[in-house]
A and B are shown apart, each in its own frame.
Chain A
């Protein structure tokens, strides 16, 4: 009886409301974190409160915003380059059979080269500079974008392109209005997977060869054994990425998918 009462409360107030579930899930995570901190009771596992205080202090008085900005800038730059190059190559390889045969081996090589190897080679060849850093990150992401876009290009509905041909629309219009919209779902999938992968690689690149950015700071905290600050900086970038997801990616996706949902 009581069991059923609680079950009803649970289904009525939580399950039926997606937002409540999300808040509950977040609070549960905080609770587990707090419990873990209490149990371990050491500097290696700071409590949420400690982290939040450092987060606040660093944000207002410290250098957090500066490093956050630098990292964000690198992410945006590498992301843009990877998307443009990956999409271009993906379309070319998806539509030209011989080009695909020609480049496929190189692509598989790059796809399976560890991120760390690419980063080290870029730093060795181009020096410890910004160009090497951005190139290394882009090179890590391009093969993944390429795979998705190439699949998308192969799935293009030729019948729609034929419409463009019989009505003699210009090449530019055919590309942007008849071809590219068919690729949007694939581009969005590549972008979504891309942005989270890229920021993780950017941190490694910063750790290995830059003197600013979140990755650089994380290395510093590691050396100082300052786990609370490490948590705070991680939190800062995760927050930025969540804001990017909800304020940029989701709205774009909703706009592009308007015709599917209505």
Chain B
């Protein structure tokens, strides 16, 4: 499946034979993921698209090391586990701490050395929030709060950055601005990104590649490379073409069937 010749230490190998939950009330075992296998080369922007209930959150919890119980393995090329290295995470909501200022919200997840604090400031500047360095989250708009969350996701110089539908429920203009900012930071830092979304247009605009997931028990049903030059435009004929072709070839791909 992987034809990259040069291997890098932080190419991510995901091989989940089975992952499920015991439902203690009904005494049943629900399989969330089964036979899921893919490789994400270091520095790739990889989008995951799938219907709701396709085990995306379960997968992200496994990748981040919040959940360690699985049959299978998730490792880097050099044999280390992803959670032995810095991880960045962005949730559906900004999840900032309301009692901390913007700057504190970003630096709180670091060891708070002088160097890391100044790195936090740099990131906040890059996000265009210099003026709001010492403001509290309640003083910011929803879009601005997300920018703080982006800065926080990058502050530890993560080897991998996990994003769980981070731009959901934002209006299009704000979402597009945030997507551009995310791409800019990613291009500077060359972090591997796993980006979960429902939105096919968003995935095509952002990703180097899209993995389509089936309904639970979840599997990879399609692996699509997006060969488009960057910087990309948000409204683009080529993008629309990729999308239409995909939908024509696999009309039910977004509901997890192929």
Contacts and interface: CB of A to CB of B under 8 A. Distances in A.
A160 B97 contact: yes
- Interface of chain B, helix or strand or loop or mixed? loop
B89 A259 contact: no
Interface in B80-117: 83, 86-89, 91, 93, 95, 97-100, 108-109
Contacts of B138: 259-260, 262
A262 B139 contact: yes
A168 B100 CA distance: 18
B214 interface: no
A166 B66 contact: yes
A172 to B, nearest CB: 12
Given A163-B97, A166-B87, 5 more contacts: A159-B95, A167-B88, A169-B109, A177-B97, A262-B139
Contacts of A256: 99
Q: How extensive is the interface on chain B, given as a class? A: 20 to 34
Contacts of B152: 167
14 contacts: A162-B66, A162-B91, A162-B95, A163-B91, A163-B97, A164-B109, A166-B162, A167-B89, A167-B109, A177-B108, A181-B99, A259-B98, A260-B138, A262-B138
A168 B108 contact: no
Contacts of B64: 166
B136 A262 contact: yes
Contacts of A260: 98, 138
Interface residues of A, number: 20
Contacts of A173: 108
Interface string A166-190: 1111000100011001001000000
B156 interface: yes
Interface of A: 159-160, 162-169, 173, 177-178, 181, 184, 256, 258-260, 262
Contacts of A262: 136, 138-139
Nearest to A165: B66
B92 to A, nearest CB: 10
B109 A163 contact: yes
B97 A159 contact: no
B97 A168 contact: no
Nearest to B138: A259
A259 B99 CA distance: 5
Contacts of A167: 87-89, 109, 152, 156
B110 to A, nearest CB: 9
Interface in B129-185: 136, 138-139, 152, 156, 162
* CB-CB nearest 6 A-B residue pairs: A167-B109, A166-B89, A259-B136, A259-B99, A181-B99, A166-B64
A166 B109 CA distance: 9
